[in-house]
Amino acid sequence: MPVAAARFPPVSAYDTSGRARRTVAADLDGTLLASSSAFPYYFLVAFEAGSYFRALALLLTAPLLLLLYTAFSESAAIALLVFITFAGLRVRDVEAVARGVLPRHYAAAVRADTWAVLRGCAERRVVITASPAVMVGEFVREFLGAEVAGTELETCDGGRRFTGRIKAVLVGERKKEVVERLFADGDMPDVGLGDRESDHDFMAICKEAYMVPPDKRAPRAAADSLLSRAVFHDGRLVRRPDPAHALFVLAYLPVGVLLALLRIFFYKLLPVRLVRHAFHLTGIRLSIRGTPPPAPRPGAPGSFFICNHRTLLDPVIISVALGRPVTCVTYSVNRLSTAISPIRSVELARDRKADAARMAALLEEGDVVVCPEGTTCREPFLLRFSALFAELTDRIVPVALEALQSTYYGSTARGWKWLDPYFFYMNTRPGYKVTFLPALRPEETCGRSAVDVANHVQRVIAKELGFQCTALTRKDKYMKLASNGGTVNKAKDDSASRKFV
């Protein structure tokens, strides 16, 4: 029987030992997510798919939006919020942000209590939200295993751009209509979850319904408990941009640009052995552990430093930690990044024999640094290491790197890669932790295949960092960011998170 709106018990009263529940309908913001404000996610769309000025316009209108929402009309506030965020944006850009940027921020905000209720209804889960379906759909499907019914947006230019107008905002009675349409067979959801009065309409037609009390500090669901895990994600902002942090991000950006240029200019003028001290003077934290090998003697080959890949600055940081020049080998050299780099970069030809010969020649000249993952990974995972380097030398020195970034990420997949070092230096107090691990012993290289050596080096670095090795590659990263939001679905790819090359 329908539950009277005035008698909805709190979600804490949900009894998991009671009768089996098969279906559920739930709101998103404030119900499944700890915060009832969707502003940070709109801001991410405006900043990542739009521009600095669009994000600024959205932030400046935030007080008006709050006034509209609380004093006049929830629908009117959402309509204005959508117009400022989406008007004129390309659909494909918004979809890319919804795949590669938003899921990580959404996943970090899932409440443990409401997720336990949702997950227990395994037959059918439906999320009804006033947020645009294009924003939340990827996250809801991949991480929560649910259908999504969200606000639909109008498009123009043959469906390639958003007009900023809304077909219908899903609030109040409209949420009830959607639930009735989705459950047209007459068997209404076993459980309804909501957090505000505008959810009462659809909750009242559910067999059971529970209110979720506001609590921004509610325990979050563990990342491993969700149906997918964000291994790959994109976007420049490290933290969820709540209004206060969004204001800081936009206000600090021009200052950050000047600071980055100052740091780069300063380091470019100094010899490598002095840059470590310049880091300290300009606010960059550099922690060095372990004992690096000494510089090669004249006529002797150099060491081959093998590191995990956090940002494009990894080889530069190793050079600074060593206090001497090194050569970096890579499959692509950005001319502008090379111009600001204090070390030499050599581009490989993507031909195994030619590249092996090239790296062997470089080792005869001095130390060489390589990142066998081939691309950056922000999460505590290591991508599959290339075995090419393991064929070259017995002077392999593993190096474990951790990049510390508080505001902006110094890595991107869909943005301009040449800006990556600048964004890293734009952080107020960026940092690196560099750990030089013992060089591989002869018994760890001699008589072993290149694949075995690569796997061993990968395991050594992963153990030091507390990371997990995967069978995912650089190609997997870009394919996943283009297709399923940079997630690894545990039901499909559980083995990929545990096996080596």
Q: Looking at the structure, tell me whether residues 276 and 195 fall in a common domain.
A: no
Final residue in a domain of this structure, among 224, 255, 276: 224
Mean pLDDT of 247-255: 96
Q: List phi, psi (to 5°) of 166.
A: -110, 140
Q: 406-444, pLDDT tens digit by residue?
A: 999 999 988 788 889 999 999 999 999 999 999 998 888
499 in any annotated domain:
no
Which pLDDT does position 339 carry in this prediction? 64
Mean pLDDT of 339-352: 78
Q: List phi, psi (to 5°) of 392.
A: -100, -35
CA-CA distance, 214 to 220, in Å (whole number)?
Answer: 14
Angle, in degrees to the nearest 10, between helices 243-269 and 272-281: 150
CB-based contact 124:256 (threshold 8 Å): no
Q: How far is CA 331 from CA 309, 345, 347, in A?
A: 14, 10, 5
Which pLDDT does position 485 carry in this prediction? 46
Q: 309-332, pLDDT tens digit by residue?
A: 999 999 999 999 999 999 998 877
Q: 468-499, pLDDT tens digit by residue?
A: 998 888 888 888 887 654 455 554 443 333 32
Q: Looking at the structure, tell me whether residues 287 and 141 fall in a common domain.
A: no
Q: Looking at the structure, tell me whether residues 248 and 218 fall in a common domain.
A: no
Q: 6-21, pLDDT tens digit by residue?
A: 579 999 999 887 678 8
Q: 19-63, pLDDT tens digit by residue?
A: 788 999 999 999 999 998 999 999 999 999 999 999 999 999 999
For the chain, the domain total comes to: 2
235 in any annotated domain:
no
- Given a cut of 50, is residue 500 above it in pLDDT? no
Which pLDDT does position 489 carry in this prediction? 56
Final residue in a domain of this structure, among 170, 196, 224: 224
CATH number assigned to the domain comprising residue 125: 3.40.50.1000
Q: Looking at this protein, which amino acid is placed at residue 116?
A: A
Q: Looking at the structure, tell me whether residues 462 and 320 fall in a common domain.
A: yes
Query: Taking phi first (over 0 means left), then psi (-120 to 50 degrees means alpha), and beta for anything else, what does residue 134 get?
Result: alpha
Q: Looking at the structure, tell me whether residues 218 and 290 fall in a common domain.
A: no
Q: What DSSP element (H or E) covers 306?
A: strand 304-307
Percent of the chain with pLDDT over 70: 93
Q: Which of 312, 451, 313 is nearest to 384 (CA)?
A: 451
230 in any annotated domain:
no
302 in any annotated domain:
yes
Q: Which of 398, 442, 443, 400 is nearest to 304 (CA)?
A: 398
Which pLDDT does position 199 carry in this prediction? 92
Percent of the chain with pLDDT over 90: 64
Q: Looking at the structure, tell me whether residues 27 and 89 fall in a common domain.
A: yes
- Given a cut of 80, is residue 393 above it in pLDDT? no
Which pLDDT does position 491 carry in this prediction? 41
Q: Looking at the structure, tell me whether residues 210 and 249 fall in a common domain.
A: no
Q: Which of 372, 267, 355, 349 is nearest to 316 (CA)?
A: 267
pTM for this prediction: 0.90
CB-based contact 95:116 (threshold 8 Å): no
| Reduced 3-state DSSP string for 391-422 | HCCCCEEEEEEEEECCCECCCCCCCCHHHHHH
Domain that holds residue 421: 243-490
Give the list of residues 6+ apart from residue 179 with CB closer than 8 angstroms, or none: 25, 126, 128, 188, 189, 202, 205, 206
3-state percent breakdown (helix, strand, coil) of the chain, nearest 5: 45, 20, 35
CATH number assigned to the domain comprising residue 374: 3.40.1130
Q: Looking at the structure, tell me whether residues 345 and 275 fall in a common domain.
A: yes
Average pLDDT value over all residues in the chain: 88
pLDDT band per the 50, 70, 90 thresholds, residue 334:
low
231 in any annotated domain:
no
Which pLDDT does position 209 carry in this prediction? 94
Give the list of residues 6+ apart from residue 254 with CB closer than 8 angstroms, or none: none
Q: What is the dihedral of CA 271, 276, 278, 280, to 10 degrees?
A: 180
Q: Looking at the structure, tell me whether residues 218 and 247 fall in a common domain.
A: no
236 in any annotated domain:
no
Which pLDDT does position 323 carry in this prediction? 92
495 in any annotated domain:
no
pLDDT band per the 50, 70, 90 thresholds, residue 86:
very high
Q: Looking at the structure, tell me whether residues 250 and 113 fall in a common domain.
A: no
238 in any annotated domain:
no
Final residue in a domain of this structure, among 180, 196, 224: 224
Q: Looking at this protein, which amino acid is placed at residue 466?
A: G
Largest Cα–Cα distance of the chain, in whole Å?
Answer: 86
Q: Looking at the structure, tell me whether residues 312 and 449 fall in a common domain.
A: yes
Query: Is pLDDT larger for residue 87 or for residue 389?
Result: 87
Q: Looking at the structure, tell me whether residues 387 and 252 fall in a common domain.
A: yes
